[in-house]
């Protein structure tokens, strides 16, 4: 079953890879395909807010270039140029006084302001591509929601979300990453299928909205008859699309099952590869048990040897003591006197 996810932009797979990547990143700054493209500002996308923001940025840039140039022209280049500019400002102030320092800062401010407006504001590359490729990508706004369910029998937005979730599940599956579905060109076929479904659903949404707008609050048998005919045509096309979406969902479900089977197969293979190690472990376990008995025997022998040594020492001490006690007292005292 498809997961509930927010719809990402559905982009024409025939576009250049770099353009597709820019457009698929998010819906921010993109324009619905079913709505007219808004006119671009005469200033190349620049607004009054951009101009006033550039004024403040240029003031900081002129007074403290070391703190902001790195953000405008790159970290290392910006730091190098900023340090040089800051040192130059300090040198001007020391050499020519405060008035010259202020005039230099004002001059740098007036020079930096238009440069920042021209180079740092306006339409960026993503916005440029969004305008250039308008109509070749679809957003959530291009698909009707629940209000069209009565006329179409479904929500086009929900159906598009289901199709995208199924395509994503297949393309992110492990079996697809491992190339086990190579006989099916998923990277090419599935994005094309998703885009075709988006085109059809957007067209269904457009026609359904027109039908509802034309009918308005009108009533009567003739209106109902026409609406019934058009509803049948819309639902017939909708049913065909539903079959395509369900086919994608079945493919995604089978892919998930294949993923589970593949993980199981990998686990079995790894366990089987551990068989030799397990055999060696058992052998080593038997050796360990024998070694334990041997070590305990050595320990016992070691204790016996200690006991034998201590007994020998005791016997020797006893012999010495006995011999010392058996000697005559006079001999012992004589020996002591001579000593």
The model carries a pTM of 0.62
pLDDT for res 230: 77
Among 111-115, 177-181, 254-258, 287-291, which is the least confidently predicted range? 287-291
pLDDT for res 282: 65
pLDDT for res 297: 52
pLDDT for res 212: 79
- 255, with CB counted inside 10 A (0-12, 13-18, 19+), is buried
Q: Provide mean pLDDT across the span 32-50.
A: 75
- Containing H/E element for 101? helix 98-120
What is the DSSP annotation of 28-44?
TT---TTSPPPPPPTTT
Residue 45 near residue 123 (C-beta atoms within 8 A): yes
Q: Provide mean pLDDT across the span 293-297.
A: 53
Residue 186 near residue 32 (C-beta atoms within 8 A): no
Q: What's the pLDDT tens digit per position in 116-141?
A: 777 666 566 788 898 899 999 999 99
Residue 237 near residue 200 (C-beta atoms within 8 A): yes
Q: How confident is the model at residue 18 (pLDDT cuts 50, 70, 90)?
A: very high
The answer, yes or no, to whether residue 3 has pLDDT greater than 50, is: no
The answer, yes or no, to whether residue 52 has pLDDT greater than 60, is: yes
CA–CA gap between residue 74 and residue 147 (Å, rounded):
50
CA–CA gap between residue 218 and residue 232 (Å, rounded):
19
Q: Provide mean pLDDT across the span 169-182.
A: 83
Torsion of CA 168, 174, 180, 182, to 10 degrees: 30
- Containing H/E element for 121? none
What share of residues in the chain are helix, strand, coil (percent, to 5)?
Answer: 75, 0, 20
CA–CA gap between residue 232 and residue 230 (Å, rounded):
5
Which of residues 324 and 27 earns the better pLDDT score? 27
Q: How confident is the model at residue 239 (pLDDT cuts 50, 70, 90)?
A: confident
The answer, yes or no, to whether residue 43 has pLDDT greater than 70, is: no
Rank 36-40, 85-89, 182-186 by mean pLDDT and report only the highest: 85-89
């Amino acid at each position: 079953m498809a997961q509930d996810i927010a719809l990402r932009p559905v982009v024409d797979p025939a576009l250049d890879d770099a353009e597709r990547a820019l457009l698929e990143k998010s819906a921010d700054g993109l324009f619905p395909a079913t709505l007219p493209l808004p006119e671009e500002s005469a200033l190349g996308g620049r607004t009054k807010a951009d101009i006033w923001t550039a004024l403040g940025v240029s003031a900081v840039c002129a007074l403290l270039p070391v703190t902001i140039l790195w953000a405008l022209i790159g970290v290392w280049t910006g730091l190098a140029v900023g340090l040089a500019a800051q040192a130059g400002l300090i040198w001007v102030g020391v050499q020519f006084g405060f008035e010259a320092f202020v005039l230099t800062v004002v001059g740098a401010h007036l020079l930096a302001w238009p440069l920042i407006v021209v180079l740092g504001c306006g339409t960026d590359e993503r916005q440029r591509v969004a305008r250039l490729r308008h109509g070749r990508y679809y957003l959530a706004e291009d698909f009707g929601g629940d209000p069209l369910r009565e006329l179409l029998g479904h929500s086009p937005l929900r159906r598009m979300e289901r199709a995208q979730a199924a395509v994503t599940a297949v393309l992110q599956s492990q079996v697809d990453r491992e190339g086990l579905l190579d006989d099916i060109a998923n990277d090419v076929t599935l994005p094309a299928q998703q885009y075709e479904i988006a085109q059809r659903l957007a067209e269904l949404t457009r026609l359904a909205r027109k039908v509802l707008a034309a009918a308005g609050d009108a009533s009567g048998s003739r209106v109902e008859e026409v609406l019934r005919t058009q509803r049948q045509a819309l639902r017939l096309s909708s049913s065909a699309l539903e079959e395509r979406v369900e086919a994608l969902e079945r493919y995604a479900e089978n892919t998930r099952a294949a993923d589970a089977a593949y993980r199981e197969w990998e686990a079995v293979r790894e366990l089987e590869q551990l068989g030799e190690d397990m055999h060696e472990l058992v052998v080593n376990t038997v050796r360990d048990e024998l070694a334990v008995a041997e070590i305990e025997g050595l320990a016992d022998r070691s204790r016996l040897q200690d006991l034998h040594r201590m007994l020998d020492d005791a016997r020797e001490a006893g012999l010495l003591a006995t011999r010392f006690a058996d000697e005559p007292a006079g001999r012992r005292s004589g020996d002591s006197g001579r000593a």
